[in-house]
Structure 1
Protein backbone atom coordinates (compact mmCIF):
# COMPACT_ATOMS: atom_id res chain seq x y z
CA UNK A 1 0.00 0.00 0.00
CA UNK A 2 1.34 3.43 -1.00
CA UNK A 3 1.62 6.08 1.68
CA UNK A 4 -0.19 9.37 1.25
CA UNK A 5 3.15 11.14 0.91
CA UNK A 6 4.20 8.91 -2.00
CA UNK A 7 0.91 9.53 -3.83
CA UNK A 8 1.38 13.30 -3.51
CA UNK A 9 4.89 13.02 -4.98
CA UNK A 10 3.56 11.08 -7.96
CA UNK A 11 0.81 13.65 -8.54
CA UNK A 12 3.30 16.55 -8.32
CA UNK A 13 5.72 14.81 -10.71
CA UNK A 14 2.91 14.28 -13.19
CA UNK A 15 1.93 17.95 -13.06
CA UNK A 16 5.54 19.05 -13.68
CA UNK A 17 5.90 16.64 -16.57
CA UNK A 18 2.73 17.99 -18.15
CA UNK A 19 3.84 21.61 -17.80
CA UNK A 20 7.38 21.17 -19.14
CA UNK A 21 6.39 18.94 -22.04
CA UNK A 22 4.47 21.75 -23.70
CA UNK A 23 5.98 23.53 -26.66
CA UNK A 24 5.39 27.13 -25.54
CA UNK A 25 8.47 27.27 -23.29
CA UNK A 26 10.74 30.19 -24.24
CA UNK A 27 14.03 31.51 -22.83
CA UNK A 28 14.28 35.30 -22.96
CA UNK A 29 17.20 37.63 -22.30
CA UNK A 30 17.42 41.41 -22.39
CA UNK A 31 14.69 43.75 -23.59
CA UNK A 32 11.52 41.90 -24.62
CA UNK A 33 10.72 44.68 -27.08
CA UNK A 34 13.93 44.14 -29.04
CA UNK A 35 13.62 42.77 -32.57
CA UNK A 36 16.88 40.80 -32.31
CA UNK A 37 15.30 37.35 -32.08
CA UNK A 38 17.49 34.35 -32.91
CA UNK A 39 15.91 30.91 -33.30
CA UNK A 40 17.42 28.32 -30.96
CA UNK A 41 15.18 25.36 -31.83
CA UNK A 42 11.67 24.70 -33.07
CA UNK A 43 10.20 25.48 -29.66
CA UNK A 44 12.78 27.76 -28.00
CA UNK A 45 13.86 31.31 -28.76
CA UNK A 46 16.28 33.66 -27.11
CA UNK A 47 16.16 37.42 -27.36
CA UNK A 48 19.67 38.78 -28.01
CA UNK A 49 20.85 42.34 -27.70
CA UNK A 50 24.01 43.20 -29.61
CA UNK A 51 26.33 42.62 -26.68
CA UNK A 52 24.99 39.14 -25.97
CA UNK A 53 25.00 38.26 -29.66
CA UNK A 54 28.62 39.41 -30.03
CA UNK A 55 29.73 37.50 -26.94
CA UNK A 56 28.27 34.37 -28.51
CA UNK A 57 29.78 35.23 -31.90
CA UNK A 58 33.25 35.58 -30.34
CA UNK A 59 32.78 32.23 -28.61
CA UNK A 60 32.13 30.53 -31.96
CA UNK A 61 35.19 32.26 -33.43
CA UNK A 62 37.56 31.22 -30.64
CA UNK A 63 36.30 27.63 -30.61
CA UNK A 64 36.58 27.45 -34.43
CA UNK A 65 32.89 26.62 -34.72
CA UNK A 66 32.46 29.65 -36.99
CA UNK A 67 34.91 28.24 -39.53
CA UNK A 68 36.02 30.55 -42.34
CA UNK A 69 34.91 34.17 -41.89
CA UNK A 70 36.15 37.39 -43.49
CA UNK A 71 34.86 40.36 -41.51
CA UNK A 72 33.68 41.22 -38.04
CA UNK A 73 29.86 41.57 -38.17
CA UNK A 74 28.83 45.21 -38.36
CA UNK A 75 26.88 44.96 -35.12
CA UNK A 76 30.00 43.66 -33.33
CA UNK A 77 32.60 46.25 -34.36
CA UNK A 78 32.17 48.27 -31.16
CA UNK A 79 32.19 45.07 -29.13
CA UNK A 80 35.50 43.94 -30.67
CA UNK A 81 36.96 47.42 -30.19
CA UNK A 82 36.01 47.43 -26.51
CA UNK A 83 37.32 43.89 -26.04
CA UNK A 84 40.67 44.53 -27.73
CA UNK A 85 41.33 47.91 -26.09
CA UNK A 86 39.77 47.11 -22.70
CA UNK A 87 40.61 44.59 -20.01
CA UNK A 88 39.10 41.52 -21.69
CA UNK A 89 41.81 40.85 -24.25
CA UNK A 90 44.64 41.27 -21.76
CA UNK A 91 42.93 39.10 -19.17
CA UNK A 92 42.26 36.27 -21.65
CA UNK A 93 45.82 36.47 -22.97
CA UNK A 94 47.22 36.34 -19.45
CA UNK A 95 45.29 33.17 -18.62
CA UNK A 96 46.56 31.51 -21.81
CA UNK A 97 50.10 32.49 -20.83
CA UNK A 98 49.63 31.14 -17.31
CA UNK A 99 48.27 27.83 -18.62
CA UNK A 100 51.19 27.60 -21.05
CA UNK A 101 53.70 28.30 -18.28
CA UNK A 102 52.10 25.73 -15.99
CA UNK A 103 52.41 23.07 -18.68
CA UNK A 104 55.98 24.08 -19.54
CA UNK A 105 56.98 23.63 -15.90
CA UNK A 106 55.94 19.96 -16.10
CA UNK A 107 58.21 19.19 -19.06
CA UNK A 108 61.35 17.27 -18.21
CA UNK A 109 63.99 19.23 -20.12
CA UNK A 110 66.47 16.62 -21.32
CA UNK A 111 69.52 18.83 -21.59
CA UNK A 112 70.31 17.76 -25.16
CA UNK A 113 69.02 21.04 -26.60
CA UNK A 114 66.16 19.39 -28.47
CA UNK A 115 63.17 20.42 -26.33
CA UNK A 116 61.28 22.96 -28.44
CA UNK A 117 58.40 25.41 -28.34
CA UNK A 118 56.93 26.98 -31.49
CA UNK A 119 55.45 30.50 -31.58
CA UNK A 120 53.49 32.27 -34.25
CA UNK A 121 54.34 35.99 -34.43
CA UNK A 122 51.44 38.27 -35.40
CA UNK A 123 48.87 38.56 -32.59
CA UNK A 124 50.90 35.97 -30.69
CA UNK A 125 54.24 37.61 -29.90
CA UNK A 126 53.64 40.96 -31.60
CA UNK A 127 50.44 43.00 -31.53
CA UNK A 128 49.19 44.70 -34.68
CA UNK A 129 46.48 46.49 -32.73
CA UNK A 130 47.83 49.95 -33.71
CA UNK A 131 47.22 48.97 -37.34
CA UNK A 132 43.76 47.52 -36.74
CA UNK A 133 42.69 50.58 -34.76
CA UNK A 134 43.04 52.46 -38.05
CA UNK A 135 41.28 49.75 -40.06
CA UNK A 136 38.06 49.02 -38.26
CA UNK A 137 39.19 46.31 -35.81
CA UNK A 138 38.65 43.65 -38.47
CA UNK A 139 35.48 45.11 -39.99
CA UNK A 140 37.35 45.96 -43.21
CA UNK A 141 38.53 43.36 -45.71
CA UNK A 142 42.22 42.64 -45.30
CA UNK A 143 44.47 44.88 -47.40
CA UNK A 144 47.86 43.25 -47.91
CA UNK A 145 49.48 46.45 -49.19
CA UNK A 146 48.63 48.62 -46.20
CA UNK A 147 49.44 45.81 -43.77
CA UNK A 148 52.87 45.26 -45.33
CA UNK A 149 53.52 48.98 -45.02
CA UNK A 150 52.76 48.68 -41.31
CA UNK A 151 55.02 45.62 -40.95
CA UNK A 152 57.86 47.51 -42.64
CA UNK A 153 57.74 50.11 -39.86
CA UNK A 154 58.88 47.37 -37.41
CA UNK A 155 57.00 49.07 -34.56
CA UNK A 156 54.49 46.43 -33.48
CA UNK A 157 54.60 46.19 -29.66
CA UNK A 158 55.04 42.93 -27.80
CA UNK A 159 52.06 41.24 -26.21
CA UNK A 160 53.18 41.60 -22.57
CA UNK A 161 51.79 38.22 -21.50
CA UNK A 162 53.53 36.45 -24.39
CA UNK A 163 56.83 38.20 -23.73
CA UNK A 164 56.77 36.98 -20.13
CA UNK A 165 56.04 33.43 -21.28
CA UNK A 166 58.77 33.63 -23.91
CA UNK A 167 61.38 34.62 -21.35
CA UNK A 168 60.20 31.93 -18.95
CA UNK A 169 60.56 29.24 -21.62
CA UNK A 170 64.12 30.32 -22.38
CA UNK A 171 64.90 30.23 -18.66
CA UNK A 172 63.56 26.68 -18.44
CA UNK A 173 65.78 25.58 -21.31
CA UNK A 174 63.41 25.38 -24.28
CA UNK A 175 64.63 26.12 -27.79
CA UNK A 176 62.20 28.61 -29.31
CA UNK A 177 61.19 28.50 -32.97
CA UNK A 178 59.31 31.40 -34.53
CA UNK A 179 57.04 30.24 -37.34
CA UNK A 180 55.26 33.03 -39.20
CA UNK A 181 53.19 33.45 -42.33
CA UNK A 182 55.21 36.52 -43.24
CA UNK A 183 57.33 36.23 -46.37
CA UNK A 184 61.10 35.82 -46.54
CA UNK A 185 61.37 39.37 -47.90
CA UNK A 186 60.24 40.61 -44.48
CA UNK A 187 62.95 38.80 -42.51
CA UNK A 188 65.02 41.89 -41.68
CA UNK A 189 62.10 44.05 -40.53
CA UNK A 190 60.64 41.13 -38.57
CA UNK A 191 63.91 40.53 -36.74
CA UNK A 192 64.22 44.27 -36.11
CA UNK A 193 60.67 44.42 -34.71
CA UNK A 194 61.19 41.39 -32.47
CA UNK A 195 64.38 42.86 -31.01
CA UNK A 196 62.72 46.26 -30.64
CA UNK A 197 59.90 44.60 -28.67
CA UNK A 198 62.14 42.69 -26.30
CA UNK A 199 62.48 39.23 -27.87
CA UNK A 200 65.94 37.65 -27.95
CA UNK A 201 67.75 34.34 -28.41
CA UNK A 202 65.28 32.45 -30.59
CA UNK A 203 66.63 29.29 -32.18
CA UNK A 204 65.25 29.98 -35.64
CA UNK A 205 62.93 32.38 -37.43
CA UNK A 206 60.98 30.57 -40.17
CA UNK A 207 59.23 32.59 -42.90
CA UNK A 208 57.49 31.66 -46.13
CA UNK A 209 59.91 31.02 -48.97
CA UNK A 210 59.11 30.94 -52.72
CA UNK A 211 57.98 27.29 -52.52
CA UNK A 212 55.50 28.16 -49.75
CA UNK A 213 53.59 30.83 -51.66
CA UNK A 214 49.92 29.93 -52.05
CA UNK A 215 49.88 27.19 -49.43
CA UNK A 216 47.20 27.28 -46.78
CA UNK A 217 48.64 28.36 -43.45
CA UNK A 218 47.76 25.05 -41.81
CA UNK A 219 49.65 23.11 -44.50
CA UNK A 220 52.65 25.44 -44.55
CA UNK A 221 53.04 25.48 -40.76
CA UNK A 222 52.57 21.72 -40.47
CA UNK A 223 55.33 21.16 -43.03
CA UNK A 224 57.71 23.48 -41.21
CA UNK A 225 57.01 21.81 -37.85
CA UNK A 226 57.67 18.48 -39.54
CA UNK A 227 61.05 19.79 -40.74
CA UNK A 228 61.90 20.82 -37.18
CA UNK A 229 60.98 17.36 -35.88
CA UNK A 230 63.06 15.76 -38.63
CA UNK A 231 66.08 17.50 -37.09
CA UNK A 232 65.42 15.65 -33.85
CA UNK A 233 63.58 18.38 -31.95
CA UNK A 234 60.68 17.47 -29.67
CA UNK A 235 57.92 20.07 -29.95
CA UNK A 236 56.35 20.21 -26.52
CA UNK A 237 54.32 23.40 -26.92
CA UNK A 238 52.90 25.58 -29.67
CA UNK A 239 51.32 29.03 -29.33
CA UNK A 240 49.23 30.87 -31.92
CA UNK A 241 46.21 33.10 -32.36
CA UNK A 242 44.85 31.12 -35.32
CA UNK A 243 43.69 27.51 -35.41
CA UNK A 244 45.79 27.15 -38.57
CA UNK A 245 48.85 27.82 -36.35
CA UNK A 246 48.02 24.79 -34.25
CA UNK A 247 46.22 22.17 -36.36
CA UNK A 248 47.43 19.83 -39.11
CA UNK A 249 50.28 17.39 -38.53
CA UNK A 250 53.59 17.36 -36.61
CA UNK A 251 51.57 18.71 -33.70
CA UNK A 252 52.95 19.88 -30.39
CA UNK A 253 52.17 17.85 -27.31
CA UNK A 254 50.12 20.84 -26.11
CA UNK A 255 48.81 23.73 -28.20
CA UNK A 256 47.67 27.06 -26.79
CA UNK A 257 45.23 29.31 -28.65
CA UNK A 258 45.46 33.04 -28.00
CA UNK A 259 42.36 35.20 -28.54
CA UNK A 260 41.81 37.01 -31.82
CA UNK A 261 38.32 38.12 -32.90
CA UNK A 262 39.67 40.50 -35.59
CA UNK A 263 40.55 38.11 -38.42
CA UNK A 264 40.72 34.48 -39.51
CA UNK A 265 43.48 32.70 -41.48
CA UNK A 266 42.81 29.27 -42.95
Structure 2
Protein backbone atom coordinates (compact mmCIF):
# COMPACT_ATOMS: atom_id res chain seq x y z
CA UNK A 1 0.00 0.00 0.00
CA UNK A 2 1.42 3.40 -0.99
CA UNK A 3 1.87 5.92 1.84
CA UNK A 4 -0.10 9.09 1.20
CA UNK A 5 0.87 12.19 3.17
CA UNK A 6 -1.40 15.16 3.74
CA UNK A 7 -0.63 18.04 1.38
CA UNK A 8 0.25 20.38 4.27
CA UNK A 9 2.97 17.93 5.37
CA UNK A 10 4.76 17.86 2.02
CA UNK A 11 6.18 21.41 2.08
CA UNK A 12 8.06 21.06 5.41
CA UNK A 13 9.46 17.72 4.26
CA UNK A 14 10.72 19.19 0.99
CA UNK A 15 12.33 22.15 2.78
CA UNK A 16 14.06 19.80 5.22
CA UNK A 17 15.35 17.67 2.33
CA UNK A 18 16.79 20.72 0.54
CA UNK A 19 18.54 21.92 3.72
CA UNK A 20 20.11 18.50 4.31
CA UNK A 21 21.31 18.22 0.70
CA UNK A 22 22.81 21.74 0.76
CA UNK A 23 24.60 21.18 4.07
CA UNK A 24 25.99 17.84 2.93
CA UNK A 25 27.27 19.33 -0.33
CA UNK A 26 28.98 22.25 1.46
CA UNK A 27 30.64 19.90 3.96
CA UNK A 28 31.89 17.57 1.23
CA UNK A 29 33.28 20.47 -0.81
CA UNK A 30 35.14 21.89 2.20
CA UNK A 31 36.62 18.45 2.94
CA UNK A 32 37.89 18.34 -0.66
CA UNK A 33 39.89 21.53 -0.10
CA UNK A 34 41.35 20.64 3.29
CA UNK A 35 42.07 17.00 2.47
CA UNK A 36 45.68 16.06 1.82
CA UNK A 37 44.63 14.39 -1.45
CA UNK A 38 43.99 16.62 -4.51
CA UNK A 39 40.38 17.00 -5.57
CA UNK A 40 39.09 15.42 -8.76
CA UNK A 41 36.73 16.98 -11.20
CA UNK A 42 35.68 20.59 -11.36
CA UNK A 43 33.22 23.10 -12.63
CA UNK A 44 32.29 23.46 -16.25
CA UNK A 45 30.65 20.20 -17.27
CA UNK A 46 27.23 20.82 -18.76
CA UNK A 47 27.43 24.59 -18.47
CA UNK A 48 25.60 26.79 -20.93
CA UNK A 49 27.37 29.00 -23.46
CA UNK A 50 26.54 32.11 -21.42
CA UNK A 51 27.96 30.48 -18.26
CA UNK A 52 31.16 29.56 -20.10
CA UNK A 53 31.61 33.16 -21.28
CA UNK A 54 31.08 34.44 -17.72
CA UNK A 55 33.57 31.89 -16.37
CA UNK A 56 36.15 32.96 -18.95
CA UNK A 57 35.75 36.61 -17.94
CA UNK A 58 36.07 35.72 -14.26
CA UNK A 59 39.17 33.64 -14.99
CA UNK A 60 40.74 36.69 -16.62
CA UNK A 61 39.76 38.79 -13.60
CA UNK A 62 41.38 36.22 -11.29
CA UNK A 63 44.57 36.30 -13.37
CA UNK A 64 44.66 40.08 -12.99
CA UNK A 65 44.27 39.73 -9.24
CA UNK A 66 46.98 37.09 -8.85
CA UNK A 67 49.47 39.06 -10.96
CA UNK A 68 48.75 42.23 -8.94
CA UNK A 69 47.53 44.04 -12.04
CA UNK A 70 44.09 44.54 -10.46
CA UNK A 71 44.48 46.33 -7.14
CA UNK A 72 42.52 48.10 -4.41
CA UNK A 73 39.33 46.14 -5.00
CA UNK A 74 36.82 45.70 -2.19
CA UNK A 75 34.81 42.67 -3.25
CA UNK A 76 34.78 40.13 -6.04
CA UNK A 77 32.55 40.95 -9.04
CA UNK A 78 29.02 39.80 -8.23
CA UNK A 79 28.91 37.76 -11.44
CA UNK A 80 32.01 35.84 -10.31
CA UNK A 81 30.68 34.50 -7.03
CA UNK A 82 29.87 31.10 -8.52
CA UNK A 83 33.17 30.99 -10.36
CA UNK A 84 35.20 31.78 -7.22
CA UNK A 85 33.23 29.20 -5.24
CA UNK A 86 33.89 26.52 -7.86
CA UNK A 87 37.56 27.49 -8.06
CA UNK A 88 38.15 27.41 -4.31
CA UNK A 89 36.34 24.08 -3.90
CA UNK A 90 37.68 22.56 -7.10
CA UNK A 91 40.71 20.78 -8.46
CA UNK A 92 42.33 23.89 -9.96
CA UNK A 93 42.87 25.62 -6.62
CA UNK A 94 44.53 22.53 -5.21
CA UNK A 95 46.73 22.17 -8.30
CA UNK A 96 47.72 25.84 -8.11
CA UNK A 97 48.65 25.50 -4.43
CA UNK A 98 50.61 22.34 -5.20
CA UNK A 99 52.64 24.12 -7.89
CA UNK A 100 53.55 26.93 -5.50
CA UNK A 101 54.51 24.53 -2.70
CA UNK A 102 56.46 22.28 -5.04
CA UNK A 103 58.50 25.17 -6.44
CA UNK A 104 59.15 26.52 -2.94
CA UNK A 105 60.33 23.10 -1.74
CA UNK A 106 62.62 22.64 -4.74
CA UNK A 107 64.11 26.08 -4.14
CA UNK A 108 64.67 25.39 -0.43
CA UNK A 109 66.23 21.99 -1.10
CA UNK A 110 68.68 23.60 -3.52
CA UNK A 111 69.94 26.18 -1.04
CA UNK A 112 73.46 25.97 0.34
CA UNK A 113 72.52 26.39 3.97
CA UNK A 114 75.09 27.55 6.50
CA UNK A 115 73.71 25.26 9.17
CA UNK A 116 73.97 27.93 11.87
CA UNK A 117 70.24 28.09 12.52
CA UNK A 118 69.90 31.62 11.20
CA UNK A 119 68.12 30.89 7.91
CA UNK A 120 64.45 31.79 8.27
CA UNK A 121 61.30 31.33 6.21
CA UNK A 122 58.43 33.75 6.78
CA UNK A 123 54.84 32.55 6.48
CA UNK A 124 51.62 34.53 6.59
CA UNK A 125 48.88 32.81 8.63
CA UNK A 126 45.43 33.56 7.19
CA UNK A 127 44.81 31.78 3.89
CA UNK A 128 48.43 30.72 3.74
CA UNK A 129 49.33 28.46 6.67
CA UNK A 130 45.63 28.20 7.56
CA UNK A 131 42.66 28.41 5.22
CA UNK A 132 39.68 30.56 6.14
CA UNK A 133 37.47 28.97 3.50
CA UNK A 134 34.86 27.94 6.13
CA UNK A 135 34.39 31.64 6.94
CA UNK A 136 34.30 32.77 3.31
CA UNK A 137 31.93 29.98 2.30
CA UNK A 138 29.47 31.52 4.78
CA UNK A 139 30.01 35.08 3.51
CA UNK A 140 29.77 34.82 -0.26
CA UNK A 141 33.42 34.02 -1.09
CA UNK A 142 34.27 37.72 -1.02
CA UNK A 143 31.08 38.94 -2.70
CA UNK A 144 29.70 40.19 0.62
CA UNK A 145 31.30 42.96 2.71
CA UNK A 146 33.92 41.84 5.21
CA UNK A 147 32.29 41.06 8.56
CA UNK A 148 34.92 41.88 11.20
CA UNK A 149 32.76 40.71 14.12
CA UNK A 150 32.03 37.34 12.53
CA UNK A 151 35.67 36.88 11.50
CA UNK A 152 36.90 37.58 15.03
CA UNK A 153 34.47 34.94 16.29
CA UNK A 154 35.85 32.56 13.68
CA UNK A 155 39.43 33.27 14.80
CA UNK A 156 38.45 32.80 18.45
CA UNK A 157 37.06 29.34 17.65
CA UNK A 158 40.57 28.29 16.49
CA UNK A 159 39.19 25.79 13.98
CA UNK A 160 40.71 26.96 10.67
CA UNK A 161 42.18 23.96 8.81
CA UNK A 162 45.72 23.92 7.49
CA UNK A 163 46.21 24.47 3.78
CA UNK A 164 47.62 20.97 3.10
CA UNK A 165 50.22 21.97 0.53
CA UNK A 166 51.64 24.69 2.79
CA UNK A 167 51.69 22.33 5.78
CA UNK A 168 53.69 19.87 3.69
CA UNK A 169 56.17 22.58 2.74
CA UNK A 170 56.46 23.60 6.39
CA UNK A 171 57.53 20.07 7.32
CA UNK A 172 60.17 20.00 4.60
CA UNK A 173 61.61 23.33 5.73
CA UNK A 174 61.94 22.14 9.32
CA UNK A 175 63.65 18.97 8.12
CA UNK A 176 66.19 21.12 6.25
CA UNK A 177 66.93 23.10 9.41
CA UNK A 178 65.24 26.30 8.24
CA UNK A 179 63.55 28.28 11.02
CA UNK A 180 59.88 29.15 10.54
CA UNK A 181 58.56 32.60 11.42
CA UNK A 182 54.87 33.49 11.24
CA UNK A 183 54.06 37.17 10.64
CA UNK A 184 50.31 37.66 10.62
CA UNK A 185 47.91 40.54 10.27
CA UNK A 186 45.91 39.13 13.17
CA UNK A 187 45.92 41.40 16.20
CA UNK A 188 48.05 40.81 19.27
CA UNK A 189 44.98 40.09 21.43
CA UNK A 190 44.31 37.06 19.20
CA UNK A 191 47.57 35.31 20.12
CA UNK A 192 46.05 32.56 22.27
CA UNK A 193 43.52 31.24 19.70
CA UNK A 194 46.10 31.65 16.93
CA UNK A 195 48.65 29.51 18.79
CA UNK A 196 45.96 26.94 19.56
CA UNK A 197 44.80 26.86 15.94
CA UNK A 198 48.28 26.57 14.45
CA UNK A 199 49.14 23.66 16.74
CA UNK A 200 45.88 21.83 16.18
CA UNK A 201 46.35 22.23 12.43
CA UNK A 202 49.81 20.63 12.55
CA UNK A 203 52.21 23.56 12.94
CA UNK A 204 53.95 22.43 16.10
CA UNK A 205 57.23 24.36 15.93
CA UNK A 206 58.20 27.91 15.05
CA UNK A 207 60.90 30.41 15.88
CA UNK A 208 58.60 33.42 16.21
CA UNK A 209 54.91 34.23 15.91
CA UNK A 210 54.47 37.95 15.27
CA UNK A 211 50.99 39.48 15.57
CA UNK A 212 50.04 43.01 14.63
CA UNK A 213 49.82 45.51 17.49
CA UNK A 214 46.29 46.86 17.84
CA UNK A 215 47.67 50.41 17.77
CA UNK A 216 48.95 50.11 14.19
CA UNK A 217 46.98 51.33 11.20
CA UNK A 218 45.33 49.15 8.60
CA UNK A 219 48.16 49.10 6.04
CA UNK A 220 49.99 45.77 6.04
CA UNK A 221 53.12 46.56 4.03
CA UNK A 222 54.90 48.85 6.55
CA UNK A 223 54.06 46.46 9.40
CA UNK A 224 55.22 43.25 7.72
CA UNK A 225 58.29 44.71 6.04
CA UNK A 226 59.22 46.32 9.36
CA UNK A 227 58.96 42.97 11.16
CA UNK A 228 61.11 41.33 8.49
CA UNK A 229 63.68 44.07 8.99
CA UNK A 230 63.73 43.27 12.71
CA UNK A 231 64.52 39.65 11.83
CA UNK A 232 67.41 40.75 9.61
CA UNK A 233 68.67 43.12 12.30
CA UNK A 234 68.61 40.20 14.75
CA UNK A 235 70.89 38.21 12.46
CA UNK A 236 68.41 36.06 10.57
CA UNK A 237 68.69 35.51 6.82
CA UNK A 238 65.22 35.40 5.24
CA UNK A 239 65.61 32.78 2.54
CA UNK A 240 61.90 32.56 1.73
CA UNK A 241 58.65 34.46 2.22
CA UNK A 242 55.16 33.09 1.50
CA UNK A 243 51.74 34.72 1.66
CA UNK A 244 48.40 34.93 -0.12
CA UNK A 245 48.46 38.73 -0.57
CA UNK A 246 50.97 40.87 -2.41
CA UNK A 247 51.12 43.03 0.71
CA UNK A 248 52.64 39.99 2.48
CA UNK A 249 55.48 39.92 0.00
CA UNK A 250 56.47 43.47 -0.98
CA UNK A 251 58.49 46.03 0.97
CA UNK A 252 62.18 45.58 1.71
CA UNK A 253 63.47 43.26 2.94
CA UNK A 254 61.19 40.89 1.03
CA UNK A 255 63.43 37.86 1.53
CA UNK A 256 65.62 36.09 -0.99
CA UNK A 257 62.60 34.69 -2.77
CA UNK A 258 58.83 35.12 -2.44
CA UNK A 259 55.99 32.68 -3.16
CA UNK A 260 52.31 33.63 -3.46
CA UNK A 261 49.48 31.26 -2.62
CA UNK A 262 46.39 31.92 -4.81
CA UNK A 263 43.55 33.87 -3.20
CA UNK A 264 40.83 35.54 -5.31
CA UNK A 265 38.49 36.14 -2.36
CA UNK A 266 39.81 39.43 -0.99
CA UNK A 267 42.46 42.12 -1.31
CA UNK A 268 44.59 43.53 1.53
CA UNK A 269 46.68 46.65 0.85
Q: TM-score range by the shorter chain?
A: 0.7 to 0.9
Report the alpha carbon displacement of residue 233 of structure 1 after superposing the two structures with TM: 0.4
1:189 aligns with 2:187: no
Report the alpha carbon displacement of residue 49 of structure 1 after superposing the two structures with TM: 1.5
The equivalent of 1:245 in structure 2 is 248
1:118 aligns with 2:122: yes
Q: Separation in 2 of the partners of 1:249 and 1:259?
A: 22
The one-character-per-residue Cα deviations of 1:29-59 (angstroms, maximum 9, x if unpaired) are x96xx7x9xxxxxxxxxxx810110010000
TM-score by length of 1: 0.81
- Structure 1 moving runs of 4+ over 2 Å: none
Superposed, 1:55-204 pairs within 5 Å as 55-204=59-208
Query: Which of 213, 222, 236 is the equivalent residue of 2:225?
Result: 222
Higher helix share: 2
Q: Secondary structure at the match of 1:49?
A: helix
The equivalent of 1:25 in structure 2 is none
1:258 aligns with 2:246: no
Structure of larger gyration radius: 1
Structure 1 stretches of 5 or more lacking a match? Answer: 1-29, 37-47
Q: Secondary structure at the match of 1:93?
A: helix
Report the alpha carbon displacement of residue 215 of structure 1 after superposing the two structures with TM: 4.4
RMSD of Structure 2 on Structure 1 (CA): 1.4
> What is the aligned residue count?
222
Q: Separation in 2 of the partners of 1:160 and 1:215?
A: 29
Q: Secondary structure at the match of 2:242?
A: strand
TM-score by length of 2: 0.80
Q: Separation in 1 of the partners of 2:213 and 2:127?
A: 21
